[in-house]
Every structure is written in structure tokens, then in C-alpha cells.
Structure 1
Amino acid sequence: MRTLSRTFFVASFLVAAVAHASTPAELLAQYSARSGQPPEPARGQQFFSTRHGKEWSCSSCHGATPVQSGKHASTGKPINALAPAFEPARFSDPAKVEKWFRRNCNDVVGRECTDREKADVLSWLITLK
């Protein structure tokens, strides 16, 4: 009986983990719905490439067109391509996406990004093929 309970628990955990996996389009839909406005890829590209009063822009580390590897502006640590078409694992784990948006927005903007800003940037990144 104990083995059956353990098997059920593991199976339930795996189903829950898969249910929380996302695609870039699903995340975009969530950010857009929460912002109450449709995403604008052009505004996302501008946000990505502009400094917002801090030392860096998103493009400082990810490159002007993030379809290839970049490197961290201060540590030099390599960063895989950001555009989902060039790095399929990008934007597949909502917890990681939120962690990196929070960390990077703080570095670039000095605060957390809004859902509209996230939607705009992600909508632009999705257009890169």
C-alpha cells in the first residue's frame, strides 16, 4: 500500500509540473491579460534597447538583437540567446521567467517591470526568427 501511495504522489507531482510548463505564447497571453492592453512588439524592442536611468539596458548583456549568445556586462558570464526561436527552453518555466524578469528589471529599470512591459518585450522576442 505504501508503494502505491508513493507512486500516486510521484505521478501527481509530475502531472502538476507539466501543467505548470508554459510556452512563450501562453506567458504573453497572461501578461497581456493582466496588463489589460495588447502587447506592442515595437515598444518592446524600444524598451529592450533603451537605458532607463540605470547603467545598462537589456541589450547591454543580451545584444541588440538577442538571437545569439551574449555576455553579462560586468562579469562576462555567457548568456544563451534570449529569443525563444533560438533558445527553445526560454520562457518555458514561469517561475524562472519571473525570477529573471525581477532580477534583470531591477538592474535595468531599478524596479520590477510591469506586466505591460513584460508583454511588450516578450512579444518582440517572439517575432525574432
Structure 2
Amino acid sequence: MHRCHRTVLPVVAAALCSTALWAGTPAEQLNALAAQAGRSPNPAQGQQFFNAQHGREWSCASCHNALPTGDGKHASTGKAITALAPAFNPERFTDPAKSEKWFRRNCNDVLARECSAAEKADVLAWLISLKR
């Protein structure tokens, strides 16, 4: 095997495996987060986390509303935000990279740090539980 192939193949394999951890449906993403957290998600904790302020000015609900089944708006810019709950917005939590990007960005705004896998799993479990 060519030396380049011995170096590139493990990198490609690792990338494919990490992508598998973040699959493309809300339920698949929840399962991946629960596995990373090492525990089952708790939707009640997710709702509490979503609506609480964590020592900062904002909570998740500041922009997404306490019940994120309808449109919200950014607390400082006023920019419209579509429903966060997947049953009310089928595009939510279908792109793993996008999900991770927004978790990272929003957790930093609310917590001044990244959310843990358990926190993400709890919130996502609650969001998935919201039905029409």
C-alpha cells in the first residue's frame, strides 16, 4: 500500500465514524448524545434547563420562547427564529453539523461555555417530546 494511503485512510475512517455519532434525524442525534453522555436523557431536566437562566442574562427561552413550538425572535437583534421543536419544524435537528454549530453558539450565549452532551440530550429529548 502506498504510504499516503496508510496515512489518509485512518483519517477518513475516523471522520466517517464521528459522522455516524451525529446521525441525521432528531432521534438519531438524541441517541448519539445519550451515548456520549453515558446516560438516558431526561426531558423534564431539558425543559428546566431550557427555561432557566444560568448566571447570564439570557435563557434558551429568551429567544425560542418557553414553549418553542412557534416562532421566536432573537433577544437582541429581533431576528425571526422558526420553531425549535422538530414536530413543528421538520428541518430542525436533521443536519448534524448545523445542530452542533447552533448548540455551541447558543450554549455559549446562555452559559458562557459549551453544553455537555447530557445537557444537549436532555434539551433535545424535551424538544422531541413536544407534539402537535
Counterpart in the other structure of 1:49:
51
CA deviations over 1:63-98 (Å, ceiling 9, x no partner): 000000000000000000000000000000000000
- Residues 1:86 and 2:85 aligned together: no
Counterpart in the other structure of 1:32:
34
Counterpart in the other structure of 1:123:
125
Structure 1: how far apart are the matches of 2:66 and 2:104?
20
Counterpart in the other structure of 1:64:
66
Alignment equivalent of 2:75, drawn from 49, 73, 76: 73
Q: 1:86 to 1:73 in 2, by over 3 A?
A: same
- TM-score norm. by structure 1 comes to 0.84
Structure 1: how far apart are the matches of 2:112 and 2:92?
23
Counterpart in the other structure of 1:98:
100
Structure 2: how far apart are the matches of 1:28 and 1:21?
9
Structure 1: how far apart are the matches of 2:23 and 2:36?
19
Give the aligned length: 112
Spell out structure 1 runs of 4+ moving beyond 3 A. Answer: none
Structure 2: how far apart are the matches of 1:99 and 1:54?
20
Structure 2: how far apart are the matches of 1:21 and 1:98?
11
Structure 2: how far apart are the matches of 1:31 and 1:54?
25
Deviation at 1:21, TM superposition (A): 5.8
Alignment gaps of 5+ in structure 2: 1-15
Deviation at 1:60, TM superposition (A): 0.3
RMSD of aligned residue pairs (Cα, Å): 1.4
- TM-score norm. by structure 2 comes to 0.82
Deviation at 1:104, TM superposition (A): 0.1
Equivalent AA in structure 1 for residue 118 of structure 2: R
Alignment gaps of 5+ in structure 1: 1-15
Q: 1:21 to 1:27 in 2, by over 3 A?
A: closer
